[in-house]
Amino acid sequence: MFTKILIANRGEIACRVIATARKMGIATVAVYSDADKEARHVKLADEAVHIGAAPSRESYLLADKIIAAAKQTGAQAIHPGYGFLSENEAFAQRCEDEGIAFIGPKAHSIAAMGDKIASKKLALEAGVSTIPGYNDAISGPEQAVEIAKGIGYPVMIKASAGGGGKGLRVAFNDKEAFEGFASCQNEARNSFGDDRIFIEKFVQEPRHIEIQVLGDSHGHVIYLNERECSIQRRHQKVIEEAPSPFISEATRKAMGEQAVQLAKAVKYQSAGTVEFVVGKDQDFYFLEMNTRLQVEHPVTECITGLDLVELMIRVAAGESLPLTQADVKRDGWAIECRINAEDPFRNFLPSTGRLVRFQPPHESMFQSDTAKKLGVRVDTGVYEGGEIPMYYDSMIAKLIVHGTDRNDAIAKMRAALNGFVIRGISSNIPFQAALLAHPKFVTGEFNTGFIAENYGKGFAAEDVPHGDPLFLVALAAYMNRRYRARASGISGQMAGHEVKVGETFVVVQLGAEGQNQHHEVTVSDFEGKSGSSAVLVGANSYQISSDATLGQIRVEGSCNGQGFTAQVERGTAKNPLALRIAHNGTQIDALVLSPLGARLHQLMPFKAPPDLSRFLLSPMPGLLVDVAVQPGQKVQAGERLAVIEAMKMENILFASQDGVVSKVVAGKGESLAVDQVILEFV
């Protein structure tokens, strides 16, 4: 067994590998860029080596520097994590040539599965179901139209070297096939340096279901059940679960056996994933093989009790798999939510900056102890006070739960999301809460088009309706009374002028443009029960109890006998006296006033926000890579104004109306904050 390994990655996956290595008694070496000098994976590793500047092309993608770091520190093996060099056949071969074990498949397996056209031919030869299509490179748009006609519309036009949604179009007729081919070819050439295009049948109501496989150097290959990955936004997975709520036992077995056939055909060693697209009638077709550890591997670990990272390390060290197919179990239900640094209310624009607060929910399952079950696990590479840099992907953490069944897992995940405190940057937690509460998600009736169909026009607060919105009002009144009760106990108050707690209040729920809602509320404590109150909101009664310490954001307790987790904060940017209550993805700002105070508040005029239409504001933190206009220039609606880059995404800002540029406020190369002025118009 190895005594020291290097992790050629960063963030949560680097921390994940370190956790298992530590359990196995293996020393670890981290590599880091300028941006990651204080990163969590650097702090956790036994040693750390600086490998370059912040952009990944100048650090994490430099094979020479990573190999040199391994030699310098005496690391006998390299774990690539996922992304970066994890599926780079040249890097895997280089490791082998340098006498360093690559904790992943052999270079020939990566090469065989890395090309979408070649991998489909291999899959066909291995007896794996493949989508009807034309798997040779296509010469031009005219040939593309003829092929599409032969297959039958709709068809999918895809770049052979594509990924992440680039180089992909769906065509429903000749015109779309002609234009789609040209667009895909251009994208593929620009993004991957490879403009080969192929066409296949587009599966209606498709599910994205993948099979986890595991092979060793002794010819043994097994499959570890499936993962449902159909909840995607712009071809990026958002929620994953295991098992799938859709496929039958017979389909599961057939998919697993075919995945093993393919893995054996390429002499696969290590953990890998065979991805399938599954139609509404459970007809399934090979999509691609990911020759690495997947982001969503924890859900497989939860239902099988296996540590996939440990098994990868053991296989790379030459050991045989310690189990057979008959030993693989499927216990309970697991769900993973990707918690990303993005603002769902601003069309999911990246959000970077300092994590002022980072308090994940209480963990009861852990990366390196996969035997623990029926709880909550958090895989992360960040910490409170740390920075979310603009140079890498937007993932803050992976939140994983394991339940006895799917309903139990959904309930656990909703509670865990309620207790996940993130401040300083925006996160997609409200969006995740909305997805989990959606009736079609709850019943399992969804496909890969679910988010596009239900949130095609973006995401707004109205998309997260609360099951009992008056509970938020009741909780505001309950917490306010606890604040006042504490104040009443302060010594040294003037006799006759002590703070009176009171029982009758008006909760003013603050709305946009001064459209507030008033709720008459009565709060009375239960005698002899500390932290327990009866709250009456109109005709609705709530018995709320909590041991939460005043001032903490996460509040856990019970309401009418049912447990809850919510977030409560005193003071908002607009009103320092307001309480902000968040629960199940819904958030309200409220003032809890005396009846007289509420009447006086109604007399206060609404102060409209300033008119900012004369300014182009940065919609997100990022790097201003281009300003396309100059002072005095006339612009028309829809004209390109500036380009901002953050988290591997390029965002182009266009003029919303005709105008004349008065001043360029921010310069090319400047790091922008959200809402920072870039341009001023006359």
The CA–CA distances, whole Å, from 546 to 222, 587, 665 equal 48, 20, 50
Which is nearest to 342 in space by CA: 421, 449, 422, 448? 422
Count the neighbouring beta carbons within 10 Å of the beta carbon of residue 4: 17
Q: Is 64 left (phi over 0), alpha (psi -120 to 50) or beta?
A: alpha
Tokens for 297, please give them. Answer: 């591997």
Residues 6+ apart with CB under 8 A from 505: 477, 480, 481, 520, 521, 522, 523, 592, 593, 594, 595
Fill in the DSSP letter of residue 136.
Answer: S
- CA-nearest of 191, 186, 127 to 162 is 191
Nearest Cα to Cα of residue 15 among 33, 40, 50, 32 = 40
* Residues with catalytic function: 288
Q: What span, in angstroms and rounded, lies between the C-alpha atoms of 238 and 228?
A: 11
- C-alpha–C-alpha distance, residues 591 and 258, integer Å: 60
Helix, coil or strand: residue 112: helix
**Phi, psi (degrees; rounded to nearest 5) at 668:** -55, 135
Nearest-angstrom CA–CA distance, 506 and 521: 6
H or E segment to which residue 230 belongs: strand 221-233
240 vs 477: CA distance, rounded Å: 37
440: tokens are: 């079609």
Report the C-alpha gap between 80 and 271 in whole angstroms: 12
How far apart, in whole angstroms, are the C-alpha atoms of residue 571 and residue 580?
7
Question: 245: closest CA among 291, 202, 285, 299?
Answer: 299
Query: CA torsion angle for 401, 210, 259, 243 (degrees, to 10)?
Result: 40
Q: In this structure, what is the dihedral angle of CA atoms 489, 491, 493, 498, given to the nearest 10 degrees?
A: 20
Dihedral in degrees, nearest 10, Cα atoms 188, 192, 197, 202: -80
Matching residue, tokens 């007896």: 127
Within a 10 A sphere around the Cβ of 368, how many other Cβ atoms?
15
